[in-house]
């Protein structure tokens, strides 16, 4: 939309002249230079210590609570199906939690305490106290028979957990629980509040609650659909606000924009989609970008792009970034604009293999990255880079390429509408 401004040398209908266009380009260039400078200033300040069992690092989340004289915690999902808890500043392992015999999928800290959650292929969502050495979960959230959970999230007020299942028979579910814990709940597994069963037709690979609204949740699936729900509404049909189609299997979803009214997704074949929910009640199209293969369209200042990892909404800049990389460990940051993805900068010298996960800290502008080289790296702006030796790339194909699929004989059967 063109703003109506009076300018020398142009008409009075707000149509930009060549001079105005040039000034706009200068402003945009200046903004990009500031962004590039901030990210390019990131240096490695710490590398994780070696562990007994090297694994791929598939997911990262950081504790949201800050307690005086207590270490900041980082939870990392590993390819052996466990979660490791690290001290953020020293990056050594404090403890490890396992879902054995099931595999854990996803990792998330609560928003108000140091409880850490993960969904499991054994049909439960598990909750541990990240500051306790006990491997036993402090709370179990039990699914329906035959549920195999591969994704989940917890609402911003820690009241509701939602987990997505693999498709079993004809069912691919979103299952919900009351996440609030009291002393009477600790001895028994919690049963679900209910489930959505009509909106996805294949594995639910992603679940993501709105950062500020506990009733809004978005889900993504290998069926290509990205669904936005208002769970305060009584039934699934009415709770569904909109369905966006990525036309490919969804690997990552998230929220962006000043009021988080935008959603984005990455796909397993390196696609990227970006939608603006502001336009649901207007004639404007909600699709901001739809790129079937980012590798084919983005122009990099250096190197190549082998894959996309996820999205990073930078609140201070009010800008969405796509994070990708190379198979040799270089990390690329790309800025999302209405006209496409613009390469901002690249981070070198950290990983020696594919980067699988990252976590941005908006408070101190630090970045955590995890990769297939079993390394967890802490990057900070303006830090003096120390001398590190890249770890050799590992090959752990058996624990990543193969999935454990345990199907119960007693399949969950959803109730058909009368």
CB 57 within 8 Å of CB 76: yes
Q: What is the pLDDT along the chain (418 residues), one digit of tens a residue?
A: 333 222 333 333 344 455 554 444 445 566 667 777 778 889 999 999 877 788 999 999 999 887 655 678 999 999 999 999 999 989 999 999 999 889 999 999 999 999 999 999 999 999 999 998 888 999 999 999 999 999 999 999 999 999 999 999 999 999 999 999 776 666 689 999 999 999 999 999 999 999 999 999 999 999 999 999 999 998 999 999 999 999 999 999 999 998 999 999 999 999 999 999 999 989 999 999 999 999 999 999 888 999 999 999 998 889 999 999 999 999 999 999 999 999 999 999 999 999 999 999 988 889 999 999 999 999 999 866 555 445 554 444 433 333 332 333 333 333 333 3
d(CA 354, CA 170): 35
- Tell how many helices (H) and how many strands (E) occur in the chain: 4, 28
Domains and CATH numbers, the chain: 37-53+293-388 (no CATH), 54-244 (2.130.10.10)
What is the DSSP pairing of strand 174-178 with strand 139-142?
unpaired
**Which residue bears the tokens 């796509």?**
322
DSSP 112-148: SSSEEEEEETTSEEEEEETTS---S-SEEEE--TT--
DSSP 219-268: EEETTSEEEEEETTSSSHHHHEEEEEE-SS-EEEEEEESTTS-EEEEEET
| pTM (two decimals) | 0.84
Task: State residue 278's pLDDT score.
Answer: 93
Residue whose C-alpha is closest to residue 111's, from 66, 175, 59? 66
What is the rounded CA–CA span in Å between residue 197 and residue 229? 13
Instruction: Please tell me the distance from the alpha carbon of residue 165 to that of residue 347, in angstroms, as a whole number.
Output: 35
């Amino acid at each position: 939309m063109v703003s109506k401004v009076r300018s020398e040398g142009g008409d009075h209908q707000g149509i930009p002249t060549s001079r105005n266009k040039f000034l706009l380009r200068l402003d945009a260039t200046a903004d990009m230079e500031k962004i590039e400078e901030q990210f390019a200033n990131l240096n490695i300040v710490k590398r994780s210590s070696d562990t007994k069992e090297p694994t791929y690092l598939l997911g990262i989340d950081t504790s949201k609570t800050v307690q005086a004289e207590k270490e900041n915690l980082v939870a990392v999902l590993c390819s052996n199906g466990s979660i490791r808890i690290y001290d953020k500043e020293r990056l050594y392992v404090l403890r490890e939690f396992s879902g054995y015999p099931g595999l854990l999928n996803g990792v998330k800290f609560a928003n108000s305490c140091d409880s850490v959650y993960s969904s499991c292929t054994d049909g439960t969502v598990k909750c541990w106290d990240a500051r306790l050495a006990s491997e036993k979960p402090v709370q179990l959230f039990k699914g329906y028979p035959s549920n195999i959970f591969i994704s989940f999230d917890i609402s911003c007020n820690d009241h509701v957990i939602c987990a997505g299942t693999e498709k079993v028979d004809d069912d691919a579910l979103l299952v919900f629980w009351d996440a609030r814990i009291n002393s009477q709940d600790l001895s028994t597994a919690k049963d679900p509040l209910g489930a959505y069963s009509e909106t996805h037709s294949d594995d639910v690979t992603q679940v993501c609650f709105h950062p500020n609204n506990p009733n809004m949740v978005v889900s993504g699936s290998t069926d290509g659909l990205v669904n936005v729900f208002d769970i305060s509404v009584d039934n699934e049909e009415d709770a569904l606000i909109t369905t966006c189609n990525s036309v490919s299997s969804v690997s990552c979803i998230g929220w962006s924009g000043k009021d988080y009214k935008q959603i984005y997704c990455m796909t397993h074949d390196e696609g990227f989609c970006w939608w603006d929910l502001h336009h649901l009640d207007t004639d404007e199209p909600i699709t901001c970008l739809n790129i079937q293969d980012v590798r084919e369209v983005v122009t990099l200042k250096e190197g190549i792009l082998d894959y996309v990892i996820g999205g990073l909404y930078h609140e201070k800049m009010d800008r969405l970034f796509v994070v990708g990389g190379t198979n040799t460990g270089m990390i690329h940051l790309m800025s999302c604009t209405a006209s496409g993805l613009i390469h901002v900068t690249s981070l070198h010298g950290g990983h020696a293999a594919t980067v699988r996960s990252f976590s941005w800290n908006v408070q101190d502008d630090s970045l955590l990255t995890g990769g297939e080289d079993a390394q967890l790296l802490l990057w900070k702006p303006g830090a003096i880079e120390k001398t590190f030796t890249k770890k050799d790339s590992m090959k752990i194909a058996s624990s990543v390429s193969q999935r454990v699929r345990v199907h119960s004989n007693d399949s969950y059967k959803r109730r058909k509408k009368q």
